[in-house]
Amino acid sequence: MHRPRKLLELTLARRARLLIAADARARFPEECCGLLIGVLRAGKAHVTRVVPAANVAPPARRRRHFEIDPGALFAVRRTLRESGATRHREAILGYFHSHPGGNALPSGADLAGAHEVGLVTLIAAPPRKAGVVPLRAWLRLGGGPSSRFRPLKITTDL
């Protein structure tokens, strides 16, 4: 998997953006989560599609934490491999999740969590169950005590 530390920008297919917003609203007040799939080209991450997954964190924790269903991750990896998508450098670029009623900054849980270095983290922050869903993108850098997230510029593809 690519681990681009110089990545500064992310393009998001319009359909992918709409799907993330819809998932964040539908799961409100719990966190939604899923996978970002696309390609790295010319120093940019191009997210072409997203795959929502079940949040399998214990129910009492789902308002502030997420755990992506490992079965969904396994299925996406297998599909990418079997479809030959990896030959076109299509890969899992990272994850998305939501902060219901919160903001789109990485939380303490995100900093302490198992987000892999070099992967993109998209955070959707629906203020309520309906309406506009702010979205921000972050790149995970470092690990352990030095871990942090750097903001990525988001542009939307049509």
Give 64 or 77: the residue with its C-beta nearer to Zn ion: 64
Paired with 78 in beta bridges are none
Spatial separation of the C-alpha atoms in residues 5 and 119, rounded to whole Å: 9
Please classify residue 143 by burial: count the beta carbons closer than 10 Å to its beta carbon, then call 0-12 exposed, 13-18 middle and 19+ buried: exposed
Q: Candidates 11, 48, 107, 147: give the one binding Zn ion (CB under 5 A).
A: 107
Is the CB of 11 or the CB of 107 nearer to Zn ion? 107
Contact call for residue 110 and Zn ion (CB under 5 A): yes
Q: Which is nearer to Zn ion, 107 or 147 (CB)?
A: 107
Contact between 48 and Zn ion (CB under 5 A)? no
Q: Exposed, middle or buried: residue 69 (CB in 10 Å: 0-12, 13-18, 19+)?
A: middle
Closest distance of CB 128 from Zn ion, Å: 18
- Mask: binding to Zn ion, 114-143, rule CB under 5 A, as x and -? ------------------------------
**What distance in Å separates the CA atoms of residue 51 and residue 58, rounded to the nearest whole number?**
21
How far is 102 from 66, CA to CA, in rounded Å?
A: 14
In terms of CB distance, is 90 or 110 closer to Zn ion?
A: 110
Q: Find the part of the chain contacting Zn ion (CB under 5 A) among 35-43, 76-84, 110-118, 145-153.
A: 110-118
Amino acid at 7: L
Q: CA 128 to CA 16: how far, in whole Å?
A: 20
Judged by CB under 5 A, the stretch of 21-29, 42-50, 53-61, 106-114 that binds Zn ion is 106-114
Q: Which residue has the tokens 């198992």?
A: 114
Tell me: does residue 147 bind Zn ion (CB under 5 A).
no
Residues that bind Zn ion (CB under 5 A): 107, 110
